[in-house]
Amino acid sequence: MARRGINMPFLRAALSFPVLLLLLLPPGTEASGGTWCYATQDATCGPAHWKVLDHQCGGANQSPINVDRKTARRNMQVNLGSDISVSGAGLPAVYNALQFHFHWGKPNGNGSEHQLDGNQYPMEIHIVHMHSKYTDIKDAATDPNGLAVLGFFYKVSDTDNTNYNTIIDGLQSVSYSGDSVDLASTFRLDSLLPSENLLSRYYRYRGSLTTPGCAEAVIWTVFEDPIPISSSQLSAFVNSVHFSASGQTEVKMQDNFRPVQALNRRRIYASKQASMSSGAIPALSIVLLLFPLLAIRLL
């Protein structure tokens, strides 16, 4: 069925575990030039040093950015035709989901990676997709159209968002680096996202991975409407997960976000037209993996 909208088939997770690891290797193994980390782990290998470890992190088209709506260009996407269901709201191809993960701050500090008009949000989810012509993210990372990432902000609400119960329960099993748990759940990824009528408002720009090697291979789609979670749910991310492995000196996983990068000559596009399709992930298992990022692998 042809649908107008983003309709990125993030339910078609076709990639195997080793591919996922390339995105999520722990500190010390991903950057070509040496160890990388967040400053809350070790100030000497935090984001300010990443460009020393991998020159791409010093590039002109890095992510995240501040989405300044005053400078965004309205993109009415009049060229979207009947093939929207495969190209997805102006994306140049079909992209398959690899994994999703979160960035957050600390108990009294925000931690989204992107900002909207200079405002940082408490947390951000990234749903990482790869162009369907690739099977290895290393290859996709060399293509400016190789990856597509959906980003959503979070806001604190008065009530729990019960759609997050499965993930938050799972956090208790993955407190330390290297832990994993198979949630073995039939789980709707779209249940984590804002309701479909709110998915028409997003911003798009060309950027990079936000961890080393910072490949400038990502078409970013950052949604305007934040996802509500309660303060206790946010606290479950901020306070119960650790960078450190079990038995090591405890280092809480906090402030696992990269600061905003210069926009430079890039253009941000805004769209209010598209809508997003929804659907269930078919009977998949979800594994929480702890690396510098808390990631959830789509099997």
Restricted to residues 253-272, the positions that interact with Zn ion (CB under 5 A) are none
Contacts of 115 (CB under 8 A, 6+ apart): 64, 65, 66, 67, 121, 260
Site size toward Zn ion (CB under 5 A) is 1
Tell me which residue has tokens 């009415």. 76
Q: Which of residues 113-152 bind Zn ion (CB under 5 A)?
A: 126
Q: How far is the CB of 212 from Zn ion (least distance, A)?
A: 12
242-256 burial: b if 16+ Cβ within 10 Å, else e: bbbeeeeeebbbbbb
Closer to Zn ion by Cβ: residue 147 or 287 = 147
Return d(Cα 8, Cα 98) in angstroms, integer: 12
Smaller CB separation from Zn ion, 7 or 99: 99
Residue 74: how many CA atoms within 13 Å on its side-chain side? 4
Question: Can you read off the two tokens belonging to residue 223?
Answer: 């949604």
Among 42, 165, 63, 156, residue whose Cα is nearest residue 110: 156
Q: How far is the CB of 126 from Zn ion (least distance, A)?
A: 4
The number of CA neighbours under 13 Å toward the Cβ of 26 is 13
Q: Which residue is nearest to Zn ion (CB)?
A: 126
Using CA of residue 278, residue 280, residue 284, residue 290, what is the dihedral sign? positive
Closest distance to Zn ion from the beta carbon of 85 (Å)? 26
Residue (84 or 243) nearer to Zn ion, CB: 243
Identify which of residues 177 and 256 has a Cβ nearer to Zn ion in the complex.
Answer: 256
> From the CB of 103, what's the least distance to Zn ion, in Å?
5
- 273 in Cβ contact with 202 (< 8 Å): no
Q: How far is the CB of 66 from Zn ion (least distance, A)?
A: 16
Question: Which is closer to Zn ion, CB of 5 or CB of 213?
Answer: 213
Binders of Zn ion in range 226-245 (CB under 5 A): none
Query: Please, which residue, 126 or 204, has the CB nearer to Zn ion?
Result: 126
Tell me the closest approach of the beta carbon of residue 84 to Zn ion, in angstroms. 26
Residue ranges that bind Zn ion, judged by CB under 5 A: 126
